[in-house]
Amino acid sequence: MSSVARLLPTPEAHDLLELTSELADKELAPNADDYEARGEFPRELIRTLGRSGLLGLPYSAEYGGAEQPYEVYLQVLEILAGRWVGIAEAVSVHTLACYPLAHHGSTEQRERWLPDLIGGELLGAYCLSEPAGGSDAANLTTRAVREGDDYVVTGTKAWITHAGVADFYNVFCRTGGPGPKGISCLLAPADTPGLNPQAREKTMGLRASPVAQVALDGAVVPAGRLIGAEGEGFRIAMGALDSGRLGIAACAVGLAQGALDYATGYAKERVQFGRPIIEMQGLGFMLADAATEIAAARALMLHAARLRDAGLAYSTEAAKAKLFATDMAMKVCTDMVQVLGGAGYVADHPVERYFREAKVLQIVEGTNQIQRMVIARSL
Ligand SMILES: Cc1cc2nc3c(=O)[nH]c(=O)nc-3n(C[C@H](O)[C@H](O)[C@H](O)COP(=O)(O)OP(=O)(O)OC[C@H]3O[C@@H](n4cnc5c(N)ncnc54)[C@H](O)[C@@H]3O)c2cc1C
């Protein structure tokens, strides 16, 4: 396990984090650079994580989940992100994609599908954003029309992580009038007729993780796959994002910690003016600030998670954690490139990749402007 001091709620959580660290060192760290350079999605690796129980951590044991507190799940994500943030993001998005069924599905729906979703073999996608709007999701235009026992869905979803590799898609679509109350949630399997993932986007970072539009060309989804009642979709989507934002915060904390650990090692080795550069106060202070900011972000994230675990309101605290942790990761990754000087600017060292990967965390699951809106509204 890394040198980060952690207060964990149970011995079982301690063992889980040990196991995660071992798995991350063995399976993630040696593969990250190659897969990211090739832009290849590591489906088998995700399956390995699933078989180790990491794809259903916060969900009920009744359906095959590990029933871990959120604070433990987030620290697992953080460890994964420290070795390969793309994998942590995949776990976080999958966990987000299981949320609607796990929290809003009927007992019959959960019994039927949830064990498969969290059992480790299947991978999920969450389709809220559209080409005309990501931030203003309440005005989405994908339309689902009831025809007999089915919904026929028409529209386009944009920026969908796991498009083309997912086994199931949560599709947020309009079944009623304008605004948030007209939105519903359908859980569509990948082989739904008319559900067509498009060509992959060429992204700045997280290149192993496929992101694409998903066209719904009269996609036929059985009405029994409506999660919650008609009109409840937006509430479900926002509830999922409150939890998901904490996952993104964990990715940010882990990524920044990985960057700090790498840059610290380099600064101890690299000699200028006759001594290791870490001994130059200007550089040592940069590392000290990074270590402090990472610790602060981790504390904010764990505070929100503990509120959630206690069944208390945590939405605003999740927004604060996502905002602070992802802005922090962008700053720390920028500074860690600086610590390496010219070496930080080339792909031979992973901080170049970390820097590109940090950016997207300020954008996904509600941009940081949207997080500020959520926080400001709560004041
Ligand atoms: C790699 C990647 C993966 C993604 N994965 C998914 C996914 O799996 N599922 C999914 O549904 N979506 C996904 N997204 C979409 C993501 O959630 C959206 O990109 C994000 O919500 C912003 O929406 P937008 O891109 O339409 O930007 P816009 O909403 O057009 O915003 C543009 C700019 O305006 C700002 N802005 C907008 N409204 C306001 C306001 N009221 N006040 C101040 N500033 C404002 C925004 O902060 C942003 O800076 C992904 C995006 C990326 C890049």
Mind listing the pLDDT tens digit for each residue in 272-317? 999 999 999 999 999 999 999 999 999 999 999 999 999 999 999 9
d(CA 320, CA 327): 11
pLDDT score at 205: 97
Q: Got the DSSP string for 299-324?
A: HHHHHHHHHHHTT---HHHHHHHHHH
Average of per-residue pLDDT across 67-81: 98
- Residue 133 CA to ligand 1 centre (angstroms): 7
Nearest ligand 1 atom to the CA of 133 is 26
What SS3 class is residue 55?
coil
Q: Ligand 1 in contact with 93 (CB < 6 A)?
A: yes
For residues 159 and 201, the answer to whether their CB atoms sit within 8 Å is yes
What's the pLDDT score for residue 16?
A: 97
pLDDT at 1: 42
Average pLDDT of 146-162?
98
| Ligand 1 pocket residue status of 222, Cβ below 6 Å | no
Ligand 1 midpoint to CA 115 (Å): 31
Tokens linked to 139? 């005005």
DSSP-assigned letter for residue 175: S
Q: In this predicted structure, what is the pLDDT of residue 3?
A: 73
Long-range contacts of 340-343 (CB under 8 A, 24+ apart): 340/263, 340/266, 340/270, 341/270, 343/266
Is the separation of the CB atoms in 97 and 218 below 8 Å?
Answer: no
Contacts of residue 77, Cβ cutoff 8 Å, sequence gap at least 6? 88, 91, 92, 247, 250, 251, 254
The domain limits of the chain are 11-118, 124-232, 235-378
In 10 A of CB 193, how many CB atoms? Answer: 10
**SS3 category, 276:** strand
| 133 — pLDDT class (breaks 50, 70, 90) | confident
Q: How confident is the model at residue 2 (pLDDT cuts 50, 70, 90)?
A: low
Answer for the pair 326, 359: CB distance below 8 angstroms, yes or no. no
| 365 catalytically annotated | yes
Structure tokens at 44: 């088998």
Cα–Cα distance, 166 to 260 (Å, whole number): 33
pLDDT in tens, 218-251: 999 999 999 999 999 999 999 999 999 999 999 9
Does the pLDDT of residue 328 top 90, yes or no?
yes
Give the residue-averaged pLDDT of 84-92.
98
pLDDT value at 256 more than 90: yes
Q: Whose CA is nearest to atom 2 of ligand 1?
A: 159
Answer whether 118's CB lies under 8 Å from 64's CB.
yes
What is d(CA 367, CA 225) in angstroms, rounded to the nearest whole number? 30
The length of the chain is 379
**Residue 119: is its pLDDT beyond 80?**
yes
Measured in angstroms, how far is the CA atom of residue 363 from the centroid of ligand 1?
A: 6
Ligand 1 atom closest to residue 365's alpha carbon, by position in its atom list: 17
Q: How confident is the model at residue 360 (pLDDT cuts 50, 70, 90)?
A: very high
Q: Is the pLDDT of residue 138 over 50?
A: yes
pLDDT at 340 over 90: yes
Say yes or no to pLDDT of 58 above 50.
yes
**What is the DSSP code (8-state) at residue 163?**
T
For the chain, the average pLDDT equals 97
Cα(238) to centroid(ligand 1), Å: 14
Has domain 124-232 been given CATH number 2.40.110.10?
yes
Distance in Å, CA 200 to ligand 1 centroid: 17
Question: Is any ligand 1 atom within 6 A of the Cβ of residue 164?
Answer: no
Give DSSP secondary structure letters for 189-242: ETT-TTEEEEEEP--SS-TTS-EEEEEEEEEEEEGGGEESSTT-HHHHHHHHHH
Which residues pair with residue 226 across a beta bridge?
Answer: 186
Cβ proximity of 13 and 72 under 8 Å: yes
- Output the CATH code of domain 11-118: 1.10.540.10
**Cβ 10 under 6 angstroms from ligand 1:** no
CA geometry: angle at 296 spanning 291 and 301, to 5°?
A: 125
pTM above 0.85, yes or no: yes
In Å, how far from its chain's centre is CA 228?
A: 23
The response to whether residue 128 sits with its C-beta less than 6 Å from ligand 1 reads yes
Pocket test for ligand 1, best of 367, 368, 373, 375 (most atoms within 8 A of CB): 367
Continuous segment of H or E residues that includes residue 172:
strand 168-174
- 89, 232, 317, 365: the active-site residue: 365
Cα 175 to ligand 1 centroid, rounded to whole Å: 23
The superfamily (CATH) of domain 235-378 is: Butyryl-CoA Dehydrogenase, subunit A, domain 3 (1.20.140.10)
Asked if the domains at 124-232 and 235-378 fall in one CATH topology, the answer is no
**DSSP character at residue 106:** -
d(CA 315, CA 237): 13
**How far is it, in rounded angstroms, from Cα 372 to Cα 367?**
9
Between CA 56 and CA 221 the distance in angstroms is 25
